[in-house]
Amino acid sequence: MSSSTRILDKIRKKIPSRNTLLFWGSAASLIGYHQYNKRQCKNIILQYSKIASEIANQPCGPLDSPRKVVVILTNQPGEYNLYKTREYWSKYVLPIFVAGALDYDLVEIRNTSFDQENQSSSDVGVGVMEGKVHEYVVGSVFSELRAAIELKYPHVKNARLAAESPSSTLFSQSSESSPEDLPFTPQKQHKLNDFIAIGRNSYAETLNGLSEGLFSNLDLTIKKPQHPSPENSSLEILETNPSTPTQNDISSTSNIDPTSPNHDILLSDPAQLSSANTQESSIIEYEKYKSSIDFPTPSIGYLPFFCYSGWSSIPIRIFNFFNDTKNTAYYSQQALNIVLDSKRPFVKSSDFDLGSDEETMNGWSNKHAEFVVSQKLSDNILIYDTC
């Protein structure tokens, strides 16, 4: 055997087998394609961020305040946690908002009525129209509307504070101070920031909450407990004495005169005792002042999010892991439209159907978003032109 043949045999023995070469070749190809996808997605984000930064570089006047929006993060239908929504926010939307210097309040709401320990794979339709986002929006609208009314009509605020705390010491002290003694505090203009909803379910609940908050009765009912009489208060102290009675104490209590007033109270009907704990309610009238204040209707923005849930969505999720450039470009474009403040009037014939394709996802379980929106709101509200 020649020397060249021996050298070739040695080289052939060191070469990996065919299956090993196929494995490492496939692994290297997948890793390389994934890195290429990440680089392409990063370039897309940088492209949209560069456009958004033009807004951030514009000069701002001394009396101009920066725009601010409220971003509502909630679990998507079929999900018990906010992991996928947070990932969507941080990957596609947040870089564009930061580049455009758009201020935001991030509100996380777990939109489900199920407890963590009661989760099971048999629960379907979780997170669909649960109402938690609706409640938050209504509370925000009520709070800002009442604050705006109290700013213009201070006696309404005084009435609310008096109902919340019966003591009038604070008001007597403030009334003794002259206007010159009080420090100057600039008045704050109360208004609602625009709401940005991620996903169709959050979009529907936000619209419903705005409709209820802006056009329902604004009067506030404050309940306060009735102060007990001195006789009842002294009796309660005797009854709640923590000392352990001795034998003499027990015998002495058995010789109480049945005709004594205290004995009558002790043996009185429970309904009479419960009447002492009845609550009085005070109604603070806000509704009659609502039409006299200038309170602009906030705009709403819808960011589409196709959240894949369940075992059947694993193939498409694997595909998106290696090829996410299309989603990155689509979602980043919607975020850019919000930064650019691109708005249009609300169109009832089409805007109620925004994101209807999301209802075909597994997490919806054949449920649908329901809109209960007043005519006044749909005629006056502006919506970000994201779709």
Q: What is the mean pLDDT of residues 313-317?
A: 88
What is the 8-class DSSP label of residue 129?
S
pLDDT computed for residue 114 by the predictor? 52
Structure tokens at 55: 């807004």
Q: Tell me, rounded to whole angstroms, the distance of Cα 95 from its chain centroid.
A: 21
Helix (H, G, I), strand (E, B) or coil at 14: helix
- Which range, 160-174, 299-313, 327-341, 351-365, is most confident? 327-341
Output 349 or 115, whichever has higher pLDDT. Answer: 349
Partners of 345 in the β-ladder: 382
Q: Which of 251-265, 304-318, 359-373 has the lowest mean pLDDT?
A: 251-265
pLDDT one-digit tens code per residue, 138-165? 999 999 998 888 888 888 888 888 888 7
Helix (H, G, I), strand (E, B) or coil at 104: strand
Virtual torsion, Cα 65, 86, 81, 372, nearest 10 deg: 50
Please state the pTM of the whole predicted model.
Answer: 0.74
Structure tokens at 81: 């946690």
Q: Where are the alpha helices (DSSP H) in 57-199?
A: 83-88, 94-99, 132-152, 154-164, 169-176
CA–CA separation, 18 and 140 (whole Å): 65
CA–CA separation, 71 and 105 (whole Å): 6
Query: What distance, in Å, lies between the first and last C-alpha atoms of the chain?
Result: 75
CB 74 within 8 A of CB 198: yes
pLDDT one-digit tens code per residue, 334-348? 999 999 999 999 998
Residue with tokens 């109270």: 265
Residue with tokens 């494995």: 23
